[in-house]
Structure 1
Amino acid sequence: MQMIRSLTMFVAVAQNMSFRKAAIDQGVSPQAVSKAVRQLETHLGLKLLHRSTRHLSLTEEGEHLFQHANPGMHMLNDALAGLEQSRQGMDGKIRLAAPLAFGNRVLMPLLAQFQALHPDIHFDLLLSDDFVDIVSLRIDIGFRTGLSPERNVISRKLGEIVSVVCAAPAYIEKFGMPTAIPELQMHRCTAFLHPQTGKELPWEILVNDEVDYIHVPSVARFNNIEAEIEAVKRGLGIGQLSEYLITQELASGALVSMLPEARVPRLGIYMYYAERIKIPVRVRRFIEFCMDKKLALH
């Protein structure tokens, strides 16, 4: 950065053939301009200017440097101005990362709503159920379900993950609806497999306001939540699913919730982003937009 500053000062002097005028253009003192040019000459090991009390001119090397540096400095200034305009304006790209099911079912509608308001903003969306290092991948905003991220990021909670037991009307018509937790042992159920271990996860219930765990007779097991939701909708069995992912199915009657004691608030839905002094306006607006919409994620 010091070299760029010295080169900028030199170009200003060469354009004006005056340290005083260059200082006015750059908003600094003539002494600061003179010092910067001397530092550039020392660094290059070349004399760039002929100086006298009444006259200032470029040396042959100084003329060569000016002819090549001047267009480059204009390009650099234009590039920096463009970045500043992008930071301050509502255009450009926002890079996002989110879990698969959350991205498909929750985030996509939010992107559509936001782009309807700001059509000049574009999105890159990376969907992965693994924790994403947003710094190394140059992600502006990440989303995560589960525990709050703790890796040197700013984390904002958007909602709770509530587990509900539900089934399709077709299943209930054929097999009936359990009215108590023990009756689940006589029903056909679905289960979710842990992504890392492949082991079947137990269902969660509330016993005296404490979370307890039970195993149910599973007729189908999945390592993908979208597949499990589809299986429950088709009547394969009763499932314990995250409520925020099936709000439309519950509202339309495609799925019917049951057993209130199996309605368990578990973990959270989080938005996280890197700590930066200057967050681009488009990114800050999308963060605010998501926080305004967070009630819809419960």
Structure 2
Amino acid sequence: MQFPRRRLAAISVALLGLLALPAFAQEGYPQRPVKLIVPFAPGGSTDLVARLVAEKMQATLGQPVTVDNRTGSGGMIGSEAVARAEADGYTVGIGTVSTLTVNPILLKANRVDPLKDLAPITLLARVPSVFMVHPSFPGRDFAQVVAEVRARPDVYNIGSSGSGSISHLLIEAMNTDLGFKLRHVPYRGMGPALAAALSGETEVSIDQYPSSAAHIRSGKLLPFAVGASRRLEALPSVPTLKELGQPDLNELAMTWFGLVAPAKTPPAIQKKLHDAAVAALRDPSLVARLKEMGADAAGGSAEAFRSQIESGLARNRRIVQAAGISPE
């Protein structure tokens, strides 16, 4: 059977049009709102960073960026929702040091490989951690704390947000790097761990600076070191761990948040997301708001973010092996 030339030409044009649809869709992206999945509850540091960035990204993308909190299982539920979403750029998520470099190592139920199932877009922000003692502790500065804990092994307590959490890993690294024998007390989240630190139930504590700032100002907790890229403006007399000769511990103590997408998201769309996020992070009002929280705006390439995830996974595996921690 032979088709007239006109019909063949029409079919060819139609086929070419169909083949061009994905490219056109990428070129016109986004044409509807973008959903930003946050794997933790509203009100926390992760959620606050996400909402600040989402608001500013809208200006560049020309479409609303709506935050969707998917909580549970230490961030696994939200991470899996991003990894399994349609890879069209309309569902993205926040990845954290916990969801990307701890859960894959320590949680048996984890089903997301951050390097295979997700596409790193850019690092968004870093939040410093502060190392503190209760006022009843017989030491104030770093040298005094180190001397006291070394002199009395297995006497002083330190709390974490739970076994297998990033704070647990940080405690194990601290014990190893500083020659400590602090007794680890796991709690059900950082809220109860902070309450224990305030009551003196745990004499030594580590927490993100934003959630402990008020207690430091009131004198209820006394800082002796920070894990940060530089000294905090609010704590100018408190040295960083890097200054104190502990660069690895300093790096581990800095919590970070990044933008991720499903792994098969087209490169052109990944670039648009990256450019919108980086533009947001350069906004002076956003930078100032993050600084109020004790956080630093980041940015940078997708490759640099991927390298950060890779190095974090490698470091945490070493800590887990050295401490003999078993996945739960």
TM-score, normalisation: structure 2: 0.48
Q: 1:265 aligns with which of 228, 236, 250?
A: 250
The correspondence of residues 238-257 of structure 1 with structure 2, limited to 5 A, is 238-246=203-211, 248-249=213-214, 252-253=217-218, 255-257=221-223
Structure 2 residue 113 is matched with structure 1 residue 125: no
Residue matched to 1:150: 115
Higher relative contact order (CA 8 A, sep 6+): 2
The correspondence of residues 1-298 of structure 1 with structure 2, limited to 5 A, is 31-33=8-10, 87-88=29-30, 92-99=33-40, 104-114=43-53, 120-128=64-72, 129-131=74-76, 132-133=79-80, 134-138=82-86, 139-146=91-98, 149-151=114-116, 153-158=119-124, 163-167=129-133, 171-172=134-135, 174-178=136-140, 179-184=144-149, 185=152, 188-192=156-160, 193-195=162-164, 202-205=171-174, 211-212=177-178, 214-217=180-183, 220-246=185-211, 248-249=213-214, 252-253=217-218, 255-258=221-224, 264-267=249-252, 269-271=256-258, 272-274=260-262, 275-279=265-269, 283=273, 287-288=277-278, 291-292=281-282, 293=287, 297-298=295-296
* Residues 161 and 201 of structure 1: CA distance in aligned 2, closer, same or farther (over 3 Å): same
Residue matched to 1:14: none
Classify the secondary structure of the residue corresponding to 2:97. Answer: strand
Distance 2:169 2:206 in 1: 14
Structure 1 counterpart of 2:182, one-letter code: V
* Residues 234 and 285 of structure 1: CA distance in aligned 2, closer, same or farther (over 3 Å): farther
Classify the secondary structure of the residue corresponding to 2:214. Answer: helix
Classify the secondary structure of the residue corresponding to 2:83. Answer: coil
Classify the secondary structure of the residue corresponding to 2:213. Answer: helix
Distance 1:159 1:114 in 2: 10
Q: Is the 8 A contact 1:203 1:240 kept in 2?
A: no
Structure 2 counterpart of 1:33, one-letter code: A
Report the CA distance between 1:250 and its aligned residue. 6.2
Question: Which of the two has higher C-alpha Rg?
Answer: 1
Report the CA distance between 1:283 and its aligned residue. 4.9
After superposition, what is the alpha-carbon deviation per residue over 1:195-217, rounded to whole angstroms, capped at 9, x for unaligned?
A: 38xx89745449xxx93453214
Identity of aligned residues (%): 8
Distance 1:161 1:33 in 2: 58
More displaced 10-residue stretch of structure 1: 141-150 or 109-118: 109-118
RMSD: 4.8
Distance 1:289 1:235 in 2: 44
* Residues 216 and 136 of structure 1: CA distance in aligned 2, closer, same or farther (over 3 Å): same
TM-score, normalisation: structure 1: 0.52
After superposition, what is the alpha-carbon deviation per residue over 1:132-154, rounded to whole angstroms, capped at 9, x for unaligned?
A: 23231454123121566422522
Q: Is the 8 A contact 1:160 1:269 kept in 2?
A: yes
Report the CA distance between 1:93 and its aligned residue. 3.8
Q: Which runs of 4+ in 1 moved over 6 A?
A: 83-86
After superposition, what is the alpha-carbon deviation per residue over 1:231-283, rounded to whole angstroms, capped at 9, x for unaligned?
A: 32344333332435536336644532125668731435241223423438995
Unaligned regions of 5+ residues in structure 1, if any? 1-18, 21-28, 40-79
